[in-house]
A and B are shown apart, each in its own frame.
Chain A
Amino acid sequence: MNILLFDASHRISGMMTAYYQKVYALDFTDKLNGKGSLYQYINGQDPVQLITFDLLDDQDISMESWLNKNNIQFDTVINNLEHLIGNTLTETSIDEWRKSLFINLHLPFLIIKAFISYVPDDGQIIHISSTAAVSGEAGDVSYASHKSGLESFSKSLSKELSKRNIRSNVISISPKCWRKSDGARQIIQLLKETCNEHMSFLNGQVITLDNGETLS
């Protein structure tokens, strides 16, 4: 199974290689301008840079050509883009709101639009979200709003792409889970289960990993 992660931390991409031989990741050098490189992660080795990309440049077809030339498809695309500032409504400036909107919502749209033709029928998309989308946990107005928009995006994708049997689900994680010492391992475990091809009936869902705390 080929996995494409976008903007995963090296930790998550690296951990995925314990289960999958071919893990690719889009790492951004300049998120706000949609620029970065595609890397391949191989267990126990340093990631290998394959090609650069510029999502905002319509003329830039280097990634497309490279994928076509190497005949690459991605069975699973994992969206782990995240931008969290931690500001209340009054503290959030217009610029900060726009930055969060761009990273948490515009970029996933651009990437999925660009890569969807490289996802085979029966493939899938998984978005990593946060329980803040539902609880609006005090502390980041933009993040709560944009993650909740992302959950609706996943539902739209699951409806639209179901004709190609492509599934789209969300894994919603509480901030506490990320902070737990074995939190990343639990997240990877859930990702692995969701990726499992035997889970073909799991579609359009939000799976929450929060130790029940969202229902406070």
Chain B
Amino acid sequence: MRQTSVVLIIGGAAGIGQAVAESRLKNDDKVVFTDINAEKGHQLMTEWRDQGYEATFIQQDVTSWKDTEKVVSETIELYGRMDVLIISAGVTSQKRLEDITVKEWRFTLDVNLTGLFYILKAALPEMVKSKGGSIVIVGSGSAITGSGGGAHYAVSKGGAFGLMRAIANEYSDQGIHINLVAPRVIETEMLDILYPTEEAKEALRQKIPIKNFGTLADTTNAINFLASGESRYIQAQVLLMDGGRTYLT
């Protein structure tokens, strides 16, 4: 019989994080999910609990070390361990270099990169104590192409590659299984921010070899695979999910 896992999802109140939370709950896992959006987080927790699932919401701003430490300590207090960590919180804005203000640059790097460092720093010692676990970082294909969301976004997502590899170097022999999915163009609110009109979306769709955007289910499948024992020998990898776009021009 499949053992239930304790899954911590960072940025779980919308988009990819929310979809992963739903899929894990349907598998009877115990899900702790966080987000800066407390209203949506509490609403989802109530809905999921009403459906009989074991879901806990903790409000967190990933740029706050204090919030992050609290998330980890409350998860450990609740379940005594953390088997899977999915890090999905992120922000983007489509800007040209000359239009990116210093404030926007800092904000994007703070959420997407420093936030990632904080949760890894807080969670890893606990995961090691409970004999390891799987970590999946939601990165972005922008790190590879340098496009889609502006230089500040690409830099923040590129930084996640090096961070993931550094963690893998340090923790691979301590039971930590870590990988990164790099989606490009998944149907979520983030896509609506970058491509607000149907026309813009269609032009984008035509650039993708399979002529379709990725769905939340596609992303969830990939993340759950990388978070499972079935991908045990896949370590420190970047799984690009892009409908073939990056390499088939």
- Which residues from chain A sit less than 8 Å from chain B, CB to CB? 88-90, 92, 94, 97-98, 101, 105-106, 109-110, 112-113, 116, 132-138, 140-142, 144-161, 204
Beta-carbon contact of B162 and A101 below 8 Å: no
Min CB gap A182→B, angstroms: 28
Pairs across A and B, CB under 8 Å, 5 listed: A141-B117, A149-B158, A152-B143, A156-B146, A159-B146
Verify if B160 is at the interface (C-beta below 8 Å from A). yes
CB-defined contacts of B152 to chain A, threshold 8 Å = 109
Beta-carbon contact of B162 and A89 below 8 Å: no
Q: Which residue of A lies closest to B97 (CB)?
A: A160
Beta-carbon contact of B113 and A101 below 8 Å: yes
Beta-carbon contact of A106 and B106 below 8 Å: yes
- B105-122: CB near A (< 8 Å → 1, else 0) gives 110010001100110110
Known: A88-B170, A155-B144. 18 other contacts (CB 8 A): A94-B65, A94-B118, A109-B155, A113-B97, A113-B98, A116-B97, A116-B98, A136-B165, A138-B169, A145-B117, A145-B160, A149-B109, A152-B154, A155-B145, A155-B154, A157-B151, A158-B146, A160-B151
CB-defined contacts of A158 to chain B, threshold 8 Å = 146
CB-defined contacts of A147 to chain B, threshold 8 Å = 162
> How many residues of chain B get a CB closer than 8 Å to chain A's CBs?
45
Of the residues B120, B154, B165, contact of A89 by C-beta under 8 Å: B120
- Which residues from chain B sit less than 8 Å from chain A, CB to CB? 65, 96-98, 100, 102, 105-106, 109, 113-114, 117-118, 120-121, 124-125, 142-147, 150-152, 154-171, 236
Q: Which residue of B lies closest to A142 (CB)?
A: B117
CB-defined contacts of B114 to chain A, threshold 8 Å = 97-98, 101
CA distance A166 to B25 in the complex (A): 50
CB-defined contacts of A89 to chain B, threshold 8 Å = 120-121, 124, 166-167, 170-171
Most chain B C-beta atoms within 10 Å of own C-beta, residue among A98, A136, A141, A149:
A149
Interface of B is mostly: helix
Beta-carbon contact of A156 and B147 below 8 Å: yes
CB-defined contacts of B160 to chain A, threshold 8 Å = 145, 148
CB-defined contacts of B125 to chain A, threshold 8 Å = 90
CA distance A116 to B100 in the complex (A): 14
Min CB gap B105→A, angstroms: 6
Of the residues B65, B121, B144, B164, contact of A136 by C-beta under 8 Å: B164
Min CB gap B185→A, angstroms: 17
CB-defined contacts of A137 to chain B, threshold 8 Å = 166, 169
CB-defined contacts of A154 to chain B, threshold 8 Å = 146
CA distance A112 to B151 in the complex (A): 12
Most chain B C-beta atoms within 10 Å of own C-beta, residue among A92, A101, A157, A204:
A101
Beta-carbon contact of B166 and A144 below 8 Å: yes
CB-defined contacts of B96 to chain A, threshold 8 Å = 160
CB-defined contacts of B159 to chain A, threshold 8 Å = 105, 145-146, 148-149, 152
CB-defined contacts of B106 to chain A, threshold 8 Å = 106
Beta-carbon contact of B146 and A92 below 8 Å: no
CA distance A90 to B174 in the complex (A): 14
Closest 4 CB pairs of A and B: A152-B158, A136-B165, A155-B146, A148-B162
